[in-house]
Chains A and B, each alone.
Chain A
Amino acid sequence: MTQIYVYVTHKGGVADDIASEFIAAAKKIDTGATVTAVVTGSGADLDKIAQSLTSKYAEVIKISDPALAYPNAEVIRKALCNVLDKSAILLAPHDTLGMDLCPGLSIKMDSAFAADVVDFEGIDGGKLKLVRQELGGAVSTHVTCDISNGAVITIRPGAFAAADASASGKVTDKPAGDLAVKRRFLEVVQAEVGDVDITKSDVLVSVGRGIQEQENIAIAEELAEAMGAVVSCSRPIVDAKWLEKGRQVGTSGKTVKPKVYMAMGISGSFQHMGGVKGNPYIVAVNKNPKAPIFQVADVGIVADILEFMPALTEAIKDLK
């Protein structure tokens, strides 16, 4: 029988949403698998998390140590290596902790590694079949993963439906073992708050790399003004310092819940769309008819935003 561990991340005493998504993911790997939740941390918060997971998982492994109080991937990697059966499959979230932890973990466990998996298609002859995306979501791929020596796999948050499992499981404490590492956590510096709060706006005109030049940001500002909207953006616009960080939508930026989201020259990567919540009406304008954004948008227009936005601005002004 397949043994699957799921590494449940948590904050402030609450398990991340991924805790329920793992259940659906594990079922897609093998409906008969034994699925065990694993949590690391320290203190009362950890006890609470571990206990709460027993309503979903039959077995919960709790690894408690003061050195695990802050999720430092270097320390967690050692703890997991010390405790887990290396021939099993371990699932973890594809987020900034999972990215930090898992590739190296697969080497230390001498098992296969697959990142950012969006679907599983079962096990066939010792090989796990899975689906992932490449090139910013423009193409998907079927991948086989030899699990004969175990596997470490990160799954995309939100890609698997949250399942309602009910169990009355038990918590098993495991000693963390040697945790000496050469990286030390210092502090978390909160992101700066900008001059505009994009999370408060019902309508966002969001620009991506398709805007091409800093001067062209003005074109989006004019459209936003005509619509009574605010300008937000994708990450490359902030990297180029054309707009401030507080305007960035996405997993490493802001989470927004507008009524209407205008994606202008944005390809639609999951890290960007991960920040667009609350099921808004998504308008996508992109010159590439194959851009992945058209898969998630409600309405799409194949056009050059540098021509389309001014025309739309004029038309809206004429309404008034």
Chain B
Amino acid sequence: MEILVCVKRVPDTAENEFQLNSAGNDLDRDDLVYSVNEWDNYAVEEAIQIVDRVGGNVTVVTVGDSESEEVLRREMAMGANNGVLMSDDAFEGSDGKGIATILAGEIKKGKYDLVLTGAQADAAAGQVGGMLAAMLDLPYASLVNKIEIEGSKLKIGREIEGGNQEMNEIELPCVLSIQTGINEPRYVGIRGIRKVAQVEIPVKDAAALGVDPASVGDAGAKVKRVDYFVPVLGDGAEMLEGSTDEIIAQLIERIKSKGGLA
């Protein structure tokens, strides 16, 4: 099975304190720690496990700048066979549809049986997978947490509200967005990264992908982020300060009054 997995380099939510830049139109990105989008790691692991079972290749692709190459290498160290970086100044400022248009360019050129994306990335949109499928006229299912291959069809589970699982049958080729927890992504050590450090990663621009530059990037975007701000929801928490002992004394008093301590 030929599997394409879309991956994105994103700021790590567990590692960063997000600050706005002085103009307020972007995050202060200087000291941000980036990693591969959590959901995409599960998608790549799933692709590798499928290929281990039935044969084939895993190709990882990303739309981004030269720094995005590092996430391709990381996923290749996990076991993906090929990587492609899609990069062009014309891609800058793309909305979800723009990203999907660029990715569709690569998919139309290849012969993929299965395309995987993460359920969502840093902007928490969860849009690219469904858009890709619609553009390519392929069947789609989101939030997939189980995949079984049954000939030219897949039996898949979708995680729905309450953690219940909606089982579906879907024809190949198809696009699936992967939910976390579907597998346990393998650990990538520094040695694994070193092994793929020299592998050539092709870079494709709009022309190479057959994408009209006017349909992507800022030029093609109908949806545009104007600014960032830090939300003020309600009054916010009462912050306890002082020495640990003082904080704990205040906290115990409050928990008691709310019935949290017998």
Residues in A lying within 8 Å of B, measured CB to CB: 72-74, 77, 95-97, 99-108, 112-116, 129, 132-146, 149, 181-191, 202-203, 209-210, 227-229, 235-236, 238-241, 245, 248, 251-255, 259-260, 262, 267, 281-284, 288-290, 292, 294-303, 307-308, 311-312, 315-316, 319
Contact = CB atoms under 8 A, between A and B. Distances in A.
B17 A290 contact: yes
Given A106-B97, A140-B229, A299-B238, A134 B124 contact: yes
14 contacts: A99-B130, A100-B140, A100-B141, A103-B127, A103-B134, A104-B133, A104-B140, A114-B223, A139-B20, A139-B228, A188-B167, A283-B255, A296-B234, A299-B254
A112 B223 contact: yes
B124 to A, nearest CB: 6
Nearest to A241: B184
Interface in B78-132: 96-97, 100, 119, 122-131
Contacts of A190: 164
A259 B261 CA distance: 10
A245 B163 contact: yes
B139 interface: yes
Contacts of B230: 139-140, 290
Interface stretch (B169-177, B186-194, B195-203, B207-215): B169-177
B223 A144 contact: yes
Contacts of A282: 237
B122 A135 contact: yes
- 3 smallest CB-CB distances across A and B, nearest first, come from A103-B130, A260-B260, A300-B237
A294 B239 contact: yes
B198 to A, nearest CB: 32
Contact of B260 (A137, A143, A281): A281
A300 B18 contact: no
A115 B232 CA distance: 20
Given A191-B162, A191-B165, A315-B252, A103 B225 contact: no
Given A74-B139, A295-B232, A113 B14 contact: no
A112 B134 CA distance: 14
Interface stretch (B1-9, B56-64, B151-159): B151-159
B8 to A, nearest CB: 13
Q: How large is the interface on B (under 10, 10 to 19, 20 to 34, 35 or more residues)?
A: 35 or more
B206 interface: no
Most buried by B among A182, A186, A300: A182
Nearest to B130: A103
A81 B124 CA distance: 25
A181 B180 contact: no
Nearest to A284: B237
Contacts, number: 269
B252 A138 contact: no
Given A100-B158, A296-B234, A301-B251, A115 B260 contact: no
A249 to B, nearest CB: 11
B23 interface: no
B247 interface: yes
B97 A113 contact: yes
A258 to B, nearest CB: 8
Contacts of A235: 180-181
Contacts of B13: 135-136, 138, 267
Nearest to B227: A142
Nearest to A129: B226
Contact of A112 (B158, B222, B240): B222
Nearest to A319: B252
A145 B222 contact: yes
Contact of B237 (A95, A100, A185, A299): A299
A185 B18 CA distance: 41
Nearest to B136: A107
Given A113-B97, A135-B13, A188 B160 contact: yes
Given A96-B143, A116-B124, A260-B260, A143 B222 contact: no
A19 B90 CA distance: 41
B237 A312 contact: no
Contact of A188 (B166, B231, B245, B248): B166
Contact of B160 (A96, A104, A138): A96
Contacts of B229: 139-142
B161 interface: yes
A202 B17 contact: no
A191 B233 CA distance: 33
